[in-house]
Amino acid sequence: MDRIPFIIGNWKMYKDASAAVELCDQLRTTIRVVGDREVGVAPSFAVISLVHQHLGRSRIRVGAQNLHPEPEGAFTGEVSAEILVSVGCTFVIIGHSERRQYFHESDQFLGSKLRAALRANLDPVFCVGETLQERESGSTEAVIRQQLDGALGSLTPSQLSRIVVAYEPVWAIGTGKTATPETAQQVHRFIREYICERCGMQSADRLRILYGGSVKPDNVDALMTQPDIDGALVGGASLKAQDFARIVNYQV
């Protein structure tokens, strides 16, 4: 099964309005999205509309970094899937380790966010990953299994087939320490096997699993040669158009 690679830039809490416009202008001229790969950026909520406008017809997808599970209501400071769709989002990152760590988001809560995204037709990019301590104690697979069980448990196979999973080892995020291609591949394989057990070969074969954690222009090619790595979720290196363009144009 040929899976279309998906490269996403997670801008986190960087890029104010003028910097976001500047980056969009640069991305439009440096990145040409053709049919063999998908590209997306996830700016902060406040500039999503602006980014959507400025990316124009570039075919670069716009997504969000988070959402609230309810469609609307008295939830001060929150943003729903429906509102995200109304400003041009087509995907949303769910369960990033920074959300889990700093905002104490539980697997169950993340499950409700996943269902909310699917309800609104947003593609969820669901993040999983172990800490350094968990890796060193040999519990990487147990941790990932628990994260998948907790959030994906209530989804039907057809819902599952619409999600993207991002494996992001916490120890590799923003640290400059990338997982080796082989280490990442092992976990990606494990995730695909998990989906196969739950939903069968066809869903597992279709599932895109992105790698995230210090992806840079100089390591993306090797990561993308692995059979179960179907793209990248890029933080720091997505803030510079040239670096992000090089990542999008990875060569295997």
Q: Which residues are catalytic?
A: 96, 168
Q: Please, which residue, 35 or 176, has the CB nearer to ligand PGA?
A: 176
Q: Whole-number minimum distance, CB 40 to ligand PGA, in Å?
A: 12
Is residue 113 within a helix (H) or strand (E), and if so which, with residue range?
helix 107-119
Q: Whole-number minimum distance, CB 237 to ligand PGA, in Å?
A: 6
Q: Please, which residue, 31 or 199, has the CB nearer to ligand PGA?
A: 31
- On whether the CB atoms of residues 37 and 2 are closer than 8 A, the answer is no
**Alpha-carbon span 220 to 233, nearest angstrom:** 11
**Alpha-carbon span 225 to 148, nearest angstrom:** 25
What residue number has its CB nearest to ligand PGA?
A: 235
Residues of the shown chain interacting with ligand PGA in the complex, contacts defined by CB under 6 A = 10, 168, 173-174, 212-215, 233-237
Q: Whole-number minimum distance, CB 236 to ligand PGA, in Å?
A: 3
Q: Please, which residue, 181 or 212, has the CB nearer to ligand PGA?
A: 212
Other Cβ atoms closer than 10 A to 108: 11
Q: Which residues contact 19 (CB under 8 A, 6 or more apart)?
A: none
Q: Please, which residue, 20 or 237, has the CB nearer to ligand PGA?
A: 237
Q: Whole-number minimum distance, CB 187 to ligand PGA, in Å?
A: 15
Q: Whole-number minimum distance, CB 167 to ligand PGA, in Å?
A: 11
**Alpha-carbon span 122 to 116, nearest angstrom:** 9
In this structure, what DSSP letter does residue 218 have? T
- On whether the CB atoms of residues 62 and 33 are closer than 8 A, the answer is no
**Alpha-carbon span 72 to 131, nearest angstrom:** 34
Q: Please, which residue, 61 or 203, has the CB nearer to ligand PGA?
A: 61
Residue with tokens 């929150």: 78
